[in-house]
Amino acid sequence: MTESGGHAHSSQRLWRDPAVRFSAVSGALLGAGFIADQAGAVGWLVTTLYVVATLSGVRFFAAEAIEELVGELEIGIELLMLVAAAAAAALGLWGEAASLAFLYSISEALEQFTEDRTRDSIRALMDLAPKEVDRIGPDGSIQVVSLQDIVIGDRFLVRPGTSIATDGIVADGASGVDESAVTGESVPADKQVGDRVFAGTLNTDGALTIETTATAADNTLAKIVHLVTQAQDAKGQGQQFLDRFAPIYSPAVLAVGTAVAIIGGLISGDWSEWIIRAATVIVAAAPCALVISIPVTYVAAIGSASRQGILIKGGVHLEELARITIVAMDKTGTLTRNQPSVTEVIAHHPNNQADLIAIAAAVEQLSEHPLARAIVTASIDRCIDLADAEGFTSLPGAGATATVTNREVLIGSPALMTENQIPLEEMADRIAHLHASGATAVAVAADNELIGVIGIADQIRDTAPAAIASMRDAGITTVVMLTGDNPQTAAAVGQLAGIDQIHAALKPDDKAA
């Protein structure tokens, strides 16, 4: 999504919220009333505008105030603001009543909008997993059932190009699985019988039969949703102060206002005068500025950050930015581009690099695997014309084979070469070097003879080292990288970026811990 598209979506979502719409109407009517008053309009028109502005402003928090008072016997900021608006109205100060209602309705609307955005984030996470699965019965029949009906021990089929519904173990088949959404590893992991798979990951090129090890309620994706919910529900110190402040301040103000009316009336005997003074005390003590300052500050700062492409998941995290000395960040898509590309081409004599890329890309142009796309992209960048491949066969989780210019070509992992009795000894050191540097080694053989190896890796962003250096200039003492990728790749990226500490092979809950 483009940046402008993101803003449009956020704006549309904002205006879908009824609380935001009522608050906006209240503000518009309040402004219209003020302008009409300054222009010398007739009194009934000004009063009508202010009355409707007040009613629109209190539409949501009045119901909440009454619910808290009746259901929980709690006097909160909502009730205080409602009483203050009512008191101002009783004094005939409809402009003040409308102002109080509008200002507090803003804070309520922003809070509601934040909650809706949290639900949208959680819904987007849940959409990573399909809602229905192809359950395999004891007789081998396939039945489409709801994910909620899957229990531990059930087996289900995952076709190529579809997401895995819940955690399990591969019971049959082999394929590459894109786990970047869960572990952050940029290169699909090869899965065979006995390997674990996670909910929300994408099966790329082969059919898999999965035996369920976790239900929809407790799988990896559900745990991620729980972690995100915790992060977005966390409140900053300002919000925590307001939560502690309201239950004490609101009853105290109402008590003082009541005391002013009763004591003044008893002493002077002029009850009407002292009731007006009590209402004045309540209106003056209404904490509009304090109540609105916190959510408005948070939303303004978080909105400004989002326009720069930065997502801050709540006020508590915004506040902590001023005090942090250690930064932990993910690798894939943060320090790296999350786009595997060819980093090294090692041709075996007498072949040259262009020939090696041409032969490999001729086969891989028929594959949808991310590593295959990287090789094809390399051929395009080098302006290499590709021959047609015949008899293409995908080897899920391992590689592929095809005939190119009358040569039988096999392309895939070094393990695939070993399985097909193709010697690797002469290039063993180069393959080991690729693995040590964090790259994936893709071997290419023609007519049962190794012709070369291609190194593919998720390359570091050009701006990453400078960004890390600028963090140190800003007072960050330690930069930590947390990744689900393998230790070799993590170490290579960490060294290039200037990372202080590296923690690899982590799942999302490991990162949170």
Q: What angle do CA 505, 506, 509 make, to 5 degrees?
A: 165
Alpha carbon separation from 93 to 87, 200, 423 (Å, rounded): 9, 57, 92
Tokens of 354: 């262009």
Beta strands in 58-207 (DSSP E): 132-136, 142-146, 155-158, 168-173, 175-178, 189-191, 196-197, 202-203
List 330, 385, 447, 462, catalytic entry? 330
510 noted as active-site residue: no
- Closest by alpha carbon to 246, among 479, 375, 76, 411? 76
Residues pairing with 336 in the sheet: 460
Residue 124 buriedness (CB in 10 A; 0-12 / 13-18 / 19+): exposed
| Cα gap 397→190, rounded to integer Å | 5
Q: Residues 23, 24, 30, 31: is their CA dihedral positive or negative?
A: positive
Which is nearest to 254 in space by CA: 242, 262, 244, 266?
262
> Smallest Cα–Cα separation from 434: which of 325, 331, 343?
343
Rounded Cα–Cα distance for residues 511 and 185 (Å) = 13
Helix/strand/coil for 394: strand
Residues 270, 264: Cα–Cα separation, whole Å: 8
Strand partners, 288: none
Alpha carbons 99 and 56: distance in angstroms, whole number: 11
Please count the other Cβ atoms lying within 10 Å of the Cβ belonging to residue 197: 24
Instruction: State the catalytic residues.
Output: 330
